[in-house]
């Protein structure tokens, strides 16, 4: 992320006007909504993962109650996933409203600011110009407060809910692994292959999300697919994975990642088809645990991205304040003020359009497939 540049002067008297454009804010918004898209993908995977009904002998093999506990842990995780979609995702989307609000405020003020800058030494034009910048600084401070509150909410969600889910699923995994621990090299390699495919798909999804959300409205959708399913004598388990469908222009930026995702998903399904029933239960448990771990990781990245947005607002406010200071300390400020305003306006029109597209893609449609091929 670049940092807005404050006015600097050297011995020759040359100076660089502050950068009061929206590039940093726009980049932070993209990072924030990319993470939000990944969050939506994983919470929908959690919500649409069928209950894993383990064979009763797993309890006796492990001296545990994991057969009963795992469905409880899944239900808790699904409750937490619904909380995210209903409470936190709207907060993530609302971050864009502050950017759009600032962009609209800027657009409404721009021509008047240029006029005042052109005639900065006349009457009280300088004070009116400063008053206008102070309004923008107030908008920045509102953006900082909102971003900080959202980052705090994400941290609380992670600490109070996701950490418990991660601990529970890792404990359940330990018992299932104890019952179905892999013996042969072939079995171990097969499970490692499936885990590697999941990791490759996760990596590709981050690229696809970033490529899709800012390009075209409706250009990206969450896909939840069942790559494998086992059912026998009252027991059942499904291997559920997530991804994105890209459309139109969005597919251009994410085409390579989408191809990588398809390749890993195809290999995962082929590997799953080679599993026997016991191995399938082990893989379903592993996949469920990995999905929870990936959701937790995505939440941490989302929180960091929102903190980055807060920093971008802070930096912009600092540069606006620097502009006020430079205006008060500099004679013949008209020329650099107009140049600065024109550059910032072009920047903010781009950022405003981006924020509006991101907002429209804030809540992604979800499709379910029983075969991801």
Q: How many domains does the chain have?
A: 1
Give CA separation, 142 vs 98, 200, 300, in Å. Answer: 8, 39, 23
Give CA separation, 283 vs 39, 115, 190, 286, in Å. Answer: 22, 67, 10, 5
Q: Is 10 exposed, middle or buried (0-12, 13-18, 19+ CB in 10 A)?
A: exposed
CA 242 vs. chain centroid, Å, equals: 15
1 falls within a domain? no
Name the residue among 194, 251, 191, 192 with its Cα closest to residue 220.
251
Q: What is the pLDDT of residue 171?
A: 97
190 falls within a domain? yes
116 falls within a domain? yes
Q: What is the CATH number of the domain that holds 76?
A: 1.20.1170.10
Q: What is the pLDDT of residue 344?
A: 96
306 falls within a domain? yes
Bridge partners, 245 (sequence order): 221
Instruction: Report yes or no: 120 and 290 within 8 Å, Cβ to Cβ.
Output: no
136 falls within a domain? yes
7 falls within a domain? no
Instruction: Report yes or no: 20 and 344 within 8 Å, Cβ to Cβ.
Output: yes
Write down the residue that tokens 């979609």 correspond to. Answer: 85
How far is residue 316's CA from residue 216's CA, in Å, rounded to a whole number?
27
The conformation of residue 53, written as its DSSP 8-state character, comes to B
Along the 373 residues of the chain, how does pLDDT read in single tens digits? 334 433 444 433 446 778 999 999 999 999 999 999 999 999 999 999 999 999 999 999 999 999 999 999 999 999 999 999 999 999 999 999 999 999 999 999 999 999 999 999 999 999 999 999 999 999 999 999 999 999 999 999 999 999 999 999 999 999 998 888 766 677 778 888 888 999 999 999 998 888 777 666 666 788 888 766 777 777 788 888 898 887 654 566 678 888 899 899 899 888 888 777 777 888 889 899 999 999 999 999 999 999 999 999 999 999 999 999 998 887 778 889 999 999 999 999 999 999 998 888 888 888 887 654 4
Q: What is the pLDDT of residue 119?
A: 94
Name the residue among 121, 118, 255, 263 with its Cα closest to residue 193.
263
Strands (E), the chain: 8-9, 15-16, 220-232, 235-246, 366-369
Instruction: Report yes or no: 40 and 33 within 8 Å, Cβ to Cβ.
Output: no
Name the residue among 282, 266, 97, 257 with its Cα closest to residue 181.
282
Give CA separation, 101 vs 94, 142, 280, in Å. Answer: 11, 10, 51
Strands (E), 134-199: none
Where is 69: in which H helix or E strand?
Answer: helix 66-83
CA 75 vs. chain centroid, Å, equals: 24
358 falls within a domain? yes
φ and ψ of 13, to 5 deg: 90, -5
Name the residue among 371, 282, 297, 311 with its Cα closest to residue 70.
282
Instruction: Report yes or no: 287 and 240 within 8 Å, Cβ to Cβ.
Output: yes
Structure tokens at 132: 């206008």
Q: What is the pLDDT of residue 251?
A: 60
How far is residue 267's CA from residue 200's CA, in Å, rounded to a whole number?
11
Give percent helix, percent strand, percent coil of the chain, each to the nearest 5: 75, 10, 20
Q: Report CA torsion sign: 248, 254, 260, 265.
A: negative
Q: What is the pLDDT of residue 8?
A: 41
Residue 83: domain span: 17-369
4 falls within a domain? no
Write down the residue that tokens 């107009």 correspond to. Answer: 338
How far is residue 254's CA from residue 267's CA, in Å, rounded to a whole number?
20
Q: What is the pLDDT of residue 214?
A: 66
């Amino acid at each position: 992320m670049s940092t807005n540049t404050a006015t600097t002067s050297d011995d020759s008297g040359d100076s660089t006007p502050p950068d009061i454009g929206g590039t940093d804010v726009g980049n932070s918004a993209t990072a924030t909504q990319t993470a939000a898209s990944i969050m939506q993908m994983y919470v929908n995977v959690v919500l649409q993962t069928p209950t894993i009904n383990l064979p009763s002998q797993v309890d006796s093999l492990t001296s545990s109650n994991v057969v009963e506990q795992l469905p409880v842990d899944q239900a808790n995780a699904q409750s937490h996933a619904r909380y995210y979609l209903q409470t936190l995702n709207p907060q993530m989307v609302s971050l864009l409203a502050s950017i759009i609000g600032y962009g609209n405020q800027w657009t409404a003020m721009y021509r008047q600011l240029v006029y005042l800058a052109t005639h900065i030494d006349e009457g009280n034009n300088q004070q009116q110009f400063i008053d206008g910048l102070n309004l923008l600084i107030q908008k920045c401070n509102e953006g900082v407060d909102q971003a900080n509150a959202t980052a705090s909410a994400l941290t609380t969600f992670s600490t109070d809910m996701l950490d418990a889910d991660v601990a529970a699923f890792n404990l359940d995994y330990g018992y299932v692994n104890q019952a179905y621990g892999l013996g042969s090299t072939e079995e171990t390699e097969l499970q490692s292959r499936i885990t590697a495919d999941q990791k490759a798909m996760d990596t590709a999804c981050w690229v696809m999300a970033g490529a899709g959300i800012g390009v075209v409205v409706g250009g990206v959708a969450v896909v939840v697919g069942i790559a494998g399913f086992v059912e026998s004598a009252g027991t059942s388990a499904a291997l559920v994975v997530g991804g994105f469908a890209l459309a139109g222009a969005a597919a251009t930026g994410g085409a390579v990642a989408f191809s990588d995702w398809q390749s890993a998903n195809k290999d995962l399904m082929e590997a799953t088809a080679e599993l026997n029933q016991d191995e399938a239960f082990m893989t379903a448990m592993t996949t469920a645990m990995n999905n929870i771990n990936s959701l937790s990781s995505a939440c941490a990245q989302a929180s960091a991205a929102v903190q980055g947005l807060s920093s971008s607002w802070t930096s912009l406010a600092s540069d606006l304040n620097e502009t006020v200071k430079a205006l008060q300390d500099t004679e013949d400020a008209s020329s650099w003020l107009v140049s600065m305003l024109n550059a910032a306006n072009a920047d903010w029109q781009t950022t405003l359009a981006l924020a509006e597209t991101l907002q429209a893609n804030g809540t992604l449609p979800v499709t379910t497939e029983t075969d991801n091929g």
